[in-house]
Structure 1
Amino acid sequence: MSKDCNDVFCFVVARCAVSPTGDKLYITCPSQNKLLTLAKDGSILATFMDPALKLLTGLHVTPAGQVLVCGRDSKNIIQVDSKGSKKLATLATPMDGVENPHSVCYNRITDSIIVGQWHHKKILVYKVK
């Protein structure tokens, strides 16, 4: 493994999640503000970066294959396409009460997104429309 931190393989994995079909692995790399999508064999299928997403922490893949990512320092939650290459939507921002999102998950029974925050005692719940 390379010691050059500009190399894509020199990163700390914050979170990982598997696609519903099991063919993709999504990995957040907070130090480089990247979401990597890997194939089963470990090859990189996509690298996602967005200037509006900083310090990627939380990651969740819904049963429908929607990829949800928290930007702790950017104070937002976004949805990325299942290929892991394109932003589809911003789901929550500070205007919605998000301060330092650290974890995210989707509850299909209640049709809501649940957000845990760094250094906060509140868990946020957003009903999906």
Structure 2
Amino acid sequence: MDKMAGRMKVRKYRFFKDADTEGLLESKMGIGTLAVAGEFVPVPDLSTVKWKKGADINVRMTQDMETCLISSSALISPGLFLLADCNNNCVKLVDVSSRTVTARLQLPGQPWDVCVLADDQAAVTFAINSMIQLLSTKGGQLTRGKEIKVSPKCRGITSYNNRLYVFYKSNPRIEVMTLDGHIISAFHKDDGRQFFQAPYYLTVSASILPTLYVSDSDTNTGLQLSLDGKVLREYRDKQLIRPESVVEVGPGQIIVCGRDIHNVLLLSERYGKMTEILGQKDGLTKPFFVTFCPHTRAIVVGMRDNNSLNVFNAK
């Protein structure tokens, strides 16, 4: 007790305000303001929609030396799509309303997949060049930006929350990286089981709980994964043969094209089932990519080694 009494000291303290915080509290804007960023467009249940084939879009240009192979597409703005033309080493902007190619940009290799980023940016993968090319799409013009060096055989790419999710066919895996190319994590197994055999495409479903959807063409499978690489659900169906492009169209709705059975399927997250919404009867032959525009309510399908895109409008 004597020792404790000697150690007891009473100290006086004074509080000093943080000038930045004090200024923030005095601000009339508070922590920020809200501005209109765009119009929310509700997406109907695509399994109940009837489709009518519209006029095809010819995407071959005078600079193209080969028949077009549009390996992927991404929606830039209402009715405007960014295309990767693998055979002609370029990307193109296509206006679905006017059915014309509005811009073209030559690239240093064969592009495979494209995804849209914030601030009028996009990203393109190159499997042979082992890189990701960032692009500007501002003002309807295409210009090259920064290059990100990555491992060989990178294929699919998607983005979520300022992160890139990149698919690799060699040593099949998904890498999560920053927009500067810094690898945050990678996954290819769950409980010791290899996920993929021949992965090509992936997309993010931004539902209440965001998840990844990937297509594996060798196993005829669609996989739903958590963002940290846990398998949540496997989609298999006799109507799904050689799945290629997989795209989110709305909350809980994913479309994927089956190349070797010539169809486009709708994957329902809620019911865990697949429904064919387009097929051979609609003129599809080896569909390679599919994209949906909720503003124009149109599905655009590109077929392997074909200069034309098929457009289907909701009735």
Shared fold, TM over 0.5:
yes
Greater mean alpha carbon deviation, residues 59-68 or residues 44-53: 59-68
1:80 counterpart letter in structure 2: L
Deviations along 1:90-120, one digit per CA (max 9) or x if unpaired, are: 1111110101111011011210111011112
CA distance in 2, matches of 1:108, 1:27: 22
Please give the residue correspondences for 1:1-129 in structure 2 after superposition, counting only pairs within 5 Å: 8-21=194-207, 23-82=210-269, 85-87=272-274, 89-129=275-315
Give the superposition deviation at 1:57.
0.3
* Runs of 4+ off more than 4 Å: none
- Is the 8 Å Cα contact of residues 48 and 84 (structure 1) preserved in structure 2? no
Give the superposition deviation at 1:54.
0.5
Deviations along 1:39-98, one digit per CA (max 9) or x if unpaired, are: 1221100001111211000111013331001000000001011258311x2111111010
CA distance in 1, matches of 2:195, 2:290: 25
CA distance in 1, matches of 2:205, 2:289: 17
- Measured on the aligned residues, the alpha-carbon RMSD in Å equals 1.9
Give the superposition deviation at 1:27.
0.3
CA distance in 2, matches of 1:10, 1:106: 26
2:229 counterpart letter in structure 1: G
Greater mean alpha carbon deviation, residues 30-39 or residues 57-66: 57-66
CA distance in 1, matches of 2:243, 2:271: 14
CA distance in 1, matches of 2:271, 2:202: 13
- Is the 8 Å Cα contact of residues 36 and 84 (structure 1) preserved in structure 2? no
Unaligned segments of structure 2, at least 5 residues: 1-187
Give the superposition deviation at 1:8.
4.4
Higher Cα Rg, which structure? 2
- Between the aligned residues of both structures, percent identity stands at 26
Q: Residue 38 of structure 1 aligns to a residue in which SS?
A: strand
Greater mean alpha carbon deviation, residues 41-50 or residues 62-71: 62-71
Tell me the number of residue pairs that the alignment of Structure 1 and Structure 2 aligns. Answer: 124
Unaligned segments of structure 1, at least 5 residues: none
TM-score, length-normalised on structure 1?
0.87
CA distance in 1, matches of 2:270, 2:215: 14
